[in-house]
Structure formats: structure tokens, C-alpha cells
């Protein structure tokens, strides 16, 4: 009953359920499948509907005298404290961001960043408790984020629809892909996913220049797609990465070694096991050597170690690992 297979399968069902639940709101992401999107126009009017509805912004924010929430800054002009509406205020906040980061932020960059990475800049006098609006339960998709941005920019600002929608700046583009990746992975949070990766995967996988210690380097893995990545985690043996096949070696004494063949030279073979331990076996001492494609060095119980949320977080993190030449 409680075999790893049934447990993995049960976990898969939960994950699938989550996908289905949010499925309809996320199909419009990353530029494909736009047809299936809920009817939201990328206009200030469309954004206004989101703001006072699905986005639940009104539960923490007000716009001038409209609404009564005070947990977050007022987005309109209001009293001494809010002398400028959000669109105009964003220009000033962008200057502060430019100064701090040393790269030029536009007003749109600022607004999009406050939605994509609320912790990056916390408005003075407030706590870092802005909701992650692209994660459950709010789960705005990219189109809705753009609409809400248009709405905020229209409040006293210079509404530049190209900067918001069709021709975003580099900074905005990056933030959009973060949101898209997160939403595509069931609303996972890539920043938390980076921590999950650090805690559970780096002992075998690396990103960037270096080779993985044991497993393949995962830079550019996003290109393999969400389905492949999730399968690789849930059922590692289903598609063993080429060059990372699992070898079983039995020596003349009958001792068995299981691992990756990491060297084959000078009449010797190195077998590296899941812990990274290397055994060197002389070829004359080998009675049997074969590939076992029902085994992976990658543990198949990772799905039990991770919560569903952590799994979604790490998926969204991996969906951001785009091949370098793609930008
Ligand atoms: C749970 C409460 C909460 C919800 C829901 C929420 N926010 Fe916020 N928001 C905050 C808080 C608190 C801040 C101030 C701290 C910060 O800067 O992160 C803030 C800051 C902001 C800022 C920066 C304001 C400024 O003066 O620079 C923007 C823009 C913003 N939120 C937009 C939104 C939008 C759009 C939504 C809905 C899609 C939303 N927020 C939903 C709490 C919330
Ligand atoms: C004990 C080492 C080990 C750990 C820990 C580990 N992996 Fe792996 N992983 C491997 C090996 C070896 C392979 C190649 C064999 C295979 O495909 O199963 C692999 C393959 C993969 C692949 C497919 C790569 C490709 O290009 O085909 C993905 C994606 C992946 N791992 C993700 C993860 C994630 C995410 C974690 C952490 C939650 C993780 N792995 C933890 C060893 C490990």
C-alpha cells in the first residue's frame, strides 16, 4: 500500500489537482495559449476591475477617498502623506531605485517590481507585508498584472502602454518572466524555490559555469519545459539524462558498486555513488558491468521530503533557468 510508487502517485495527484485548479488562469502565460485567458483587457479600465475585485488590492490599499484600507500606501492623492497619486509617485520611487541599484528604473519598472518582488523596496512607514499577488490565493496572471500596472500608472502618471505591454524595458521583462514562471509552476515563488534548491539539490546539481558535482548542470533547464522538469523530480528514472546512466559493477569478490561511471581509463573505472564517494575498480577485477535503467542516482523520494508548496517553488525557480543565449 505505502510503497514509494503509491506515495509518488498520490503526490502527483495532489500536484495535478493544483494545476487544474489554477489551470485556467495561467494558460495565458509566457506568451502562448493567450486564447484561454480570462477576459481581462490590458487597459487601465481592465486593471481597475482587477484592483477592486480578483486582485484584492482594496483589502490593503485605497485610492484617494475611494476605499478605506490603510495597511498599504494609498494609491491616490490623499492628505499630507500622499501628495502624489501612484503614477506620479512611481517616477520618484524609480529615482530612488536607480540610485540604490545603479541601473536605471522607469516608473513602470517600479510599479511592476512592487508587484513582482514586493520586498525589493518597502515603502517607509510600512511593513514588508504586501501580498504576493501572483501566488495563491490571489493568483493574478501576467495579463492581469499588466492591466493593474496600467491602472496604477493612469493614476496621475504618464500612461505608456508600450512600456507596460508590447515593448517592456529589460527590467520589466525580467520581472514579467519571474511572474510568468511562478504562475506557470502553480504559483510557486522562485525566490523561495532558490532556497529549496539550495537545501535539497545543490549537493548534486549546479547552475551557471561549473559542472554539477554528481548530477547534470541545470542552467538552461527551463528550455526542457515544465512537464519534463516535474517528471525528472517526481520520477527520476523515467527519463535518465544521457551520460548519467546508473552503472552496476560487481567485482570478482562479489562486491557490488552502484553509481555513475565517472572515469574509464588506464584499465580502471571510477564509480561515483549518490553521496559523491568515488570507488576505483581495476578492469581485471570486474566480473560484471552493466547499465541499470531502472535506477537513478537522483533520489526518487524527493517528493516526500518536499511539501507541495516547496515543490512548486523549486519548479518556478527552475523555470527561470533559461539558456543564456535566449535574451
Ligand atoms: C495584504 C495586504 C496587501 C495586498 C492584498 C496588496 N498590497 Fe500592495 N502593499 C501592501 C503594503 C503593506 C505595501 C507597503 C510595503 C511595500 O512597499 O512593500 C504595499 C505596497 C504597494 C505598492 C507600492 C506603493 C508605493 O507607494 O510605492 C504598490 C504599487 C502596490 N502595493 C500595489 C498593489 C496591488 C496592485 C495590489 C493588488 C493586485 C496589492 N498591492 C495588494 C500591502 C498589500
Ligand atoms: C544525490 C544526487 C541528486 C540530488 C540530491 C538531486 N538530483 Fe537531480 N539528478 C541527479 C542525477 C544523477 C541526474 C541524472 C540522472 C537522471 O536523469 O535521473 C539528475 C537529473 C535531474 C534533472 C534532469 C536534468 C536533465 O537535464 O535531464 C532535473 C530537472 C533534476 N535532476 C532536478 C533536481 C532537483 C530540483 C533536485 C532537488 C529538489 C534534485 N534534482 C536533487 C542527481 C541528484
Q: Does ligand 1 lie within 6 Å of residue 63's CB atom?
A: no
> 162: which DSSP letter?
I
Q: What is the pLDDT of residues 290-314, one digit of tens each?
A: 999 888 999 888 877 888 788 888 9
Q: Does ligand 2 lie within 6 Å of residue 297's CB atom?
A: yes
Name which of 316, 166, 135 is nearest 230 in CA terms.
316
Q: Does ligand 2 lie within 6 Å of residue 298's CB atom?
A: yes
Domain range 246-291, CATH architecture: Roll (2.30)
CB contact set of 205 (below 8 Å; sequence gap of 6+): 197, 212, 213, 214, 215, 216, 217, 218
pLDDT at site 12:
58
CATH superfamily name and code, 191-239+300-326: Cytochrome c-like domain (1.10.760.10)
pLDDT at site 223:
86
* 187, 29 Cβ separation under 8 angstroms: no
Q: Does ligand 1 lie within 6 Å of residue 97's CB atom?
A: no
* 139, 183 Cβ separation under 8 angstroms: yes
The Å distance, Cα 203 to ligand 2 centre, comes to 10
pLDDT at site 22:
41
Cell of 175: 520581472
Tell me, yes or no, if the two domains 191-239+300-326 and 246-291 fold the same way.
Answer: no
CA dihedral 300, 305, 308, 313 (to 10 degrees): -90
Q: Does ligand 1 lie within 6 Å of residue 111's CB atom?
A: yes
pTM: 0.62
Residue 284: exposure state from Cβ atoms within 10 A (0-12, 13-18, ≥19): exposed
In whole angstroms, give the CA distance from residue 65 to residue 213: 58
Indicate which residue's Cα is closest to atom 28 of ligand 2.
Answer: 232
Q: State yes or no: cis peptide before 137, omega within 30 of 0.
A: yes
Cell of 103: 541601473
Query: What Rg, from alpha-carbon coordinates, does the chain have?
Result: 25
Indicate which residue's Cα is closest to atom 17 of ligand 2.
Answer: 240
- The domain limits of the chain are 4-187, 191-239+300-326, 246-291
Q: Does ligand 2 lie within 6 Å of residue 185's CB atom?
A: no
Among the atoms of ligand 2, which is closest to the Cα of residue 274?
1
The Å distance, Cα 62 to ligand 1 centre, comes to 10
Residue 78 φ then ψ, to 5°: -155, 110
Q: How many CB atoms lie within 10 A of CB 247?
A: 20
Q: Does ligand 1 lie within 6 Å of residue 185's CB atom?
A: no
Cell of 21: 485548479
Q: Does ligand 2 lie within 6 Å of residue 244's CB atom?
A: yes
Name which of 59, 51, 67, 54 is nearest 154 in CA terms.
51
Among the atoms of ligand 1, which is closest to the Cα of residue 133?
38
pLDDT string in tens for the chain (327-residue length): 455 555 655 655 555 555 544 443 333 333 333 333 457 899 999 999 999 999 999 999 999 999 999 999 999 999 999 999 999 999 999 999 999 999 999 999 999 999 998 889 999 999 988 888 887 778 899 999 999 999 999 999 889 999 999 999 999 999 999 888 877 777 788 888 999 999 999 989 998 877 667 899 999 898 888 888 988 988 888 878 888 999 999 999 999 999 999 999 999 999 999 888 999 999 999 999 999 988 899 988 887 788 878 888 898 899 888 776 544
The single residue listed with the C-alpha cell 544521457 is: 242
Q: Does ligand 2 lie within 6 Å of residue 226's CB atom?
A: no
Q: Does ligand 1 lie within 6 Å of residue 49's CB atom?
A: no
The Å distance, Cα 23 to ligand 1 centre, comes to 25
Amino acid at each position: 500500500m505505502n510503497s514509494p510508487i503509491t506515495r509518488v502517485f498520490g503526490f502527483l495527484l495532489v500536484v495535478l489537482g493544483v494545476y487544474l485548479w489554477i489551470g485556467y488562469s495561467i494558460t495565458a502565460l509566457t506568451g502562448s495559449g493567450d486564447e484561454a485567458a480570462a477576459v481581462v483587457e490590458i487597459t487601465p479600465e481592465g486593471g481597475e476591475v482587477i484592483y477592486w475585485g480578483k486582485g484584492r488590492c482594496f483589502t490593503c490599499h485605497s485610492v484617494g477617498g475611494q476605499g478605506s484600507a490603510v495597511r498599504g500606501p494609498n494609491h491616490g492623492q490623499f492628505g499630507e502623506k500622499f501628495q502624489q497619486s501612484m503614477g506620479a509617485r512611481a517616477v520618484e520611487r524609480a529615482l530612488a531605485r536607480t540610485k540604490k541599484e545603479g541601473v536605471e528604473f522607469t516608473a513602470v519598472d517600479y510599479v511592476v517590481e512592487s508587484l513582482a518582488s514586493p520586498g525589493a523596496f518597502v515603502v517607509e512607514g510600512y511593513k514588508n507585508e504586501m501580498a504576493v499577488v501572483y501566488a495563491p490565493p490571489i493568483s493574478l496572471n501576467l495579463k492581469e498584472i499588466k492591466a493593474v500596472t496600467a491602472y496604477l500608472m493612469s493614476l496621475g502618471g504618464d500612461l505608456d502602454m508600450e512600456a507596460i505591454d508590447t515593448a517592456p524595458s529589460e527590467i520589466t521583462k525580467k520581472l514579467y518572466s519571474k511572474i510568468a514562471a511562478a504562475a506557470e509552476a502553480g504559483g510557486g515563488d522562485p525566490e523561495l524555490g532558490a532556497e529549496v534548491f539550495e537545501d535539497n539539490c545543490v549537493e548534486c546539481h549546479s547552475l551557471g559555469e561549473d559542472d554539477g558535482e554528481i548530477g547534470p548542470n541545470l542552467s538552461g533547464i527551463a528550455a526542457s519545459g515544465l512537464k519534463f522538469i516535474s517528471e525528472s523530480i517526481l520520477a527520476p528514472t523515467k527519463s535518465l539524462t544521457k551520460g548519467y546512466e546508473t552503472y552496476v559493477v560487481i567485482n570478482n569478490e562479489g562486491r557490488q558498486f552502484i553509481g555513475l561511471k565517472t572515469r574509464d581509463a588506464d584499465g580502471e573505472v571510477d564509480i561515483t555513488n549518490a553521496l559523491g564517494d568515488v570507488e576505483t575498480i581495476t578492469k581485471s577485477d570486474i566480473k560484471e558491468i552493466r547499465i541499470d535503467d531502472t535506477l537513478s542516482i537522483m533520489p526518487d523520494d524527493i517528493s516526500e521530503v518536499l511539501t507541495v508548496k516547496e515543490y512548486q517553488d523549486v519548479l518556478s525557480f527552475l523555470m527561470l533557468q533559461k539558456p543564456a543565449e535566449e535574451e
